[in-house]
Structure 1
Amino acid sequence: MAESLEKRFYLEAFRGRAFVIHLGSPYRPDDIARVLSELRSNDTRAVVVCARAGGSQAALSLPAGSVGAAEKDLARLGGALLREGLAEVALPRAAGPLRRLRASVTLALRFGASKLVVVDPRGGLSLGDRRKSFVTAAQLRRLVETEGARPWTRQELAWLLAAIEGGVESINLTTAEGLADELFTYEGSGTLVTPTAYCRVAPLRLDDFEQAAALLRRGEREGFLLERSDEERARLLLAGYGAWFAGRRLAGVAALDRTSYRREGVAEIAGLYTITRFQGGGVGVRLVQALLREARREGLSAVFACTSNARAAAFFGRMGFVEASPAAVPARKWHGRRGPLPRVFVRKLARRTQAAG
């Protein structure tokens, strides 16, 4: 099966970086061998911390009372990472789960790892009956200071918070079975903890145009978007917004064209394309919500979108858009258009009223 765009996106983000993977239960590394193999092939280095040795010659055993490693042990681990891309640390089960987690956090901080992956049968954090897919450091701090988040204890959460505040860029909490989905998809299977909001939506800048245009061209090739010329793409990007993951990776684009329909007081959402391709819709939801906020701020009466793609059409329906006749949008939208017209979806916006006084 061909590797998905979403997975390639994450592998590119992970390339050249270093992870600490904490196995909270006595898994053997063989249990997660496929993911480890993909990371190694991707030039992503990993230190695997487990409750017992996995059999590798690179395995480093630490005594039960230790929560860290001496400089010579760190040098040995570092050498294994440079040679093999993978190193193992074995901690005795007698150390207890909290002490082993503390050891993994200590190693992540000492090595300056960009990511700590905590593999545990409990999976991600839950509040009530709902899994929390994304948690910021501020939200985690509140959990530590209050009731915690089942099934994790406040002491465990405190160590995770220490990792984030110490410089680890992100933490994944996941089961072994859900590890691949958690690392390689936006929806994930557990909880991702980051210093600030993971997905940021903002207007595109000129520096973003190359990445954004590449996403548009991919969307055109895959049939999600209308084919456009370079000039048409540039015009769209000038009204464009982007969704970034962890402040760096552009994961989606969309434009709010209000200048073409300013006289009618409406706008069109155009060029919406994300790495998730409308599966789950998390990135697309963030983008459309931002565009709707902007349209309301400008006092527009409605926003519309046009698509010939069934998956995109279903997405707009979930976002509260209602399918309408092509005649429901300004006629200039279809000027010069040949062939069958796409499906049209419209979302009415409540106009802001002046306060009495």
Structure 2
Amino acid sequence: MKVTTLNNNNDSTKPLQRFEDLRGILRYVPQFRQRVFVIAIDGALLEQPVFASLLQDVAVLQSLNIEVVLVFGARAQIQALAAERGVTLSNDDGMGRTDAASLEIAIEAIMRECSEVLAQLTALEMPVAVSNALAVHPLGVIEGVDQEFTGRIERVDEESLRALLKADIIPLLPPLGYDGKGTTLRLNSDAVAVEVAIALQAAKVIFVAESGLTAPDGTRLAQLSVADAKEMYKKKDAKQDVSIRSKLRYAALACQEGVPRVHIVDGTQDEALLAELFSNEGVGTMIHADDYQEIRKARASDVPALLSMMQQSVDDAALVPRTRDQIQSKIKDFFVLEVDGNPIGSVAVHTYEEDGRKIAELACLFVRRSHKNKNHGRKLVAFAEETAKQRGSEVIFALSTQAFRFFEEKMGYTVSDPDALPPSRREKYDKSGRNSKVLVKPLK
């Protein structure tokens, strides 16, 4: 997000924000404003120079009226302190048995870490409060083994967290909890982040990890479905860090329980947090709920319903009139969005091949008036883009006379000129006389 430039004295460097970066960020602000983001930071990152920059990025999010909850891990600190004291740990990540000696080490390491995080946030003039909003119980006996001082989260005090957020105070949650008897219990920080996100109906969980998630060939995994995340977690790949497996496990749980998106980013990369959130391509891995489960291929029997739903948009000159035969001839390109078995919206994806290059058109996007302002339009656009990618298209375009602001501001499209259209589509465009805006988006 930054470029480096020399100052006038040529003896130091300073970051300079580019205007195009600012525009990119502002495009996302409306959909993120006053939404809750739960950010979980691996403890190992606190020891790295990038940590100060990471906290500055958190400050940027808060300045954009995004409500941030911070959770931090402590595995690295616990391991280091145990080695220093000569203590053999029964568990270092809060996912297995925690004996008394391990708990003692964990408490000291976590409290030191908590103090350090508070100090750095205070230096940035960011109001923060350590919260005990977690009601926990001992995990109990698992497969015949008493987990001793490992805890499980029973309830999240949503009201106290919302009160802090309303006052522009960042809640800080360490991986410790306290039961009704005052016993301190060790928790897994990934579990803390997800339970808090579910309780607060957060828009996102962002795991800022010691490393990113990659495919066997070393390339970045940009997206995973819940099913894919579960499969990767269950494989117990020896090459896969235990911390990443934990994140996959809890990411799947978060999505299943209503959190739309979970991100895993490599926190060692400078500005990874902002780059993941405020760019189309991202730099990490996004795990998403099955947004498309309500979207299916259109059938011939859907044509009357499609014509009926489109009529209002046609009357408003928002959609081009289409006949029954025109829809029927392209029925394989149409998709229907259903709610409770009733069609409430549709989108079409047409593919053009020019000079061996595939280009997709997003067309016939509409949602019933009774279901507007519920993110169905965004869901249909995202589905169309994914469909276009699966068909091998590198670019997608849309023509719009009235909804171009939606495509620009909400979906990341750029206004272009008619020359961007495939020749065969340009001919139809000129004949229509509608003078629609041409909106284009690369698919990566």
Task: Please list the CA deviations of residues 286-319 of structure 1 after superposition, one character each: whole Å capped at 9, or x if unmatched.
Answer: 4476698xxxxxxxxxxxxxx8688x58xx7xxx
In the alignment, the residues of structure 1 paired with residue 308 and residue 67 of structure 2 have an alpha-carbon distance, to the nearest angstrom, of 33
Aligned residues: 268
**Structure 2 match to 1:234:** 319
- For the residue of structure 2 that corresponds to 1:113, the secondary structure is coil
| Alignment partner of 2:266 out of 164, 171, 175 | 175
Letter in 2 for 1:58: V
**Structure 2 match to 1:216:** none
Matched, 1:39 2:67: no
Letter in 2 for 1:14: F
Post-superposition shift, 1:34?
A: 4.1
- For the residue of structure 2 that corresponds to 1:235, the secondary structure is coil
Q: What is the 5 A alignment of 1:95-110?
A: 99-110=188-199
| Alignment partner of 2:168 out of 72, 84, 88 | 84
Q: 5+ residue gaps in structure 2?
A: 1-18, 74-112, 135-148, 177-183, 299-305, 328-332, 338-346, 353-358, 364-382, 394-415, 434-444
Q: 5+ residue gaps in structure 1?
A: 213-229, 245-252, 259-267, 273-281, 293-306, 317-325, 338-357
| Alignment partner of 1:133 out of 222, 228, 231 | 222
Post-superposition shift, 1:8?
A: 3.5
Post-superposition shift, 1:161?
A: 2.1
Post-superposition shift, 1:188?
A: 0.8
Post-superposition shift, 1:91?
A: 4.1
Post-superposition shift, 1:114?
A: 2.7
- For the residue of structure 1 that corresponds to 2:283, the secondary structure is coil
**Structure 2 match to 1:60:** 130
Q: Are 1:98 and 1:156, in contact at CA under 8 Å, matched by a contact in 2?
A: no
**Structure 2 match to 1:11:** 29
Task: Please list the CA deviations of residues 103-137 of structure 1 after superposition, one character each: whole Å capped at 9, or x if unmatched.
Answer: 22232233332311000121234343222111111
Matched, 1:142 2:160: no
Matched, 1:194 2:194: no
In the alignment, the residues of structure 2 paired with residue 161 and residue 180 of structure 1 have an alpha-carbon distance, to the nearest angstrom, of 23
Task: Please list the CA deviations of residues 153-205 of structure 1 after superposition, one character each: whole Å capped at 9, or x if unmatched.
Answer: 34442232222223322110002331112111221111100111579898999
| Alignment partner of 1:113 out of 175, 194, 202 | 202
Letter in 1 for 2:287: V
Q: Are 1:61 and 1:91, in contact at CA under 8 Å, matched by a contact in 2?
A: no
Q: 1:123 to 1:25 in 2, by over 3 A?
A: farther
Q: Are 2:29 and 2:64, in contact at CA under 8 Å, matched by a contact in 1?
A: yes
In the alignment, the residues of structure 2 paired with residue 122 and residue 21 of structure 1 have an alpha-carbon distance, to the nearest angstrom, of 15
Larger Rg: 2
Task: Please list the CA deviations of residues 80-105 of structure 1 after superposition, one character each: whole Å capped at 9, or x if unmatched.
Answer: 2110152222348xx9x982222222
Q: 1:333 to 1:87 in 2, by over 3 A?
A: closer
- For the residue of structure 2 that corresponds to 1:106, the secondary structure is helix
What percent identity do the matched residue pairs reach? 18
In the alignment, the residues of structure 1 paired with residue 310 and residue 432 of structure 2 have an alpha-carbon distance, to the nearest angstrom, of 30
In the alignment, the residues of structure 2 paired with residue 236 and residue 99 of structure 1 have an alpha-carbon distance, to the nearest angstrom, of 56
**Structure 2 match to 1:160:** 251
- For the residue of structure 1 that corresponds to 2:205, the secondary structure is strand
Q: Tell me the C-alpha RMSD between the 2 structures.
A: 5.3
Letter in 1 for 2:215: S
Post-superposition shift, 1:138?
A: 1.2
Post-superposition shift, 1:74?
A: 5.6
Letter in 1 for 2:28: Y
TM-score (normalizing by structure 2): 0.45
Matched, 1:24 2:42: yes
In the alignment, the residues of structure 1 paired with residue 285 and residue 43 of structure 2 have an alpha-carbon distance, to the nearest angstrom, of 18
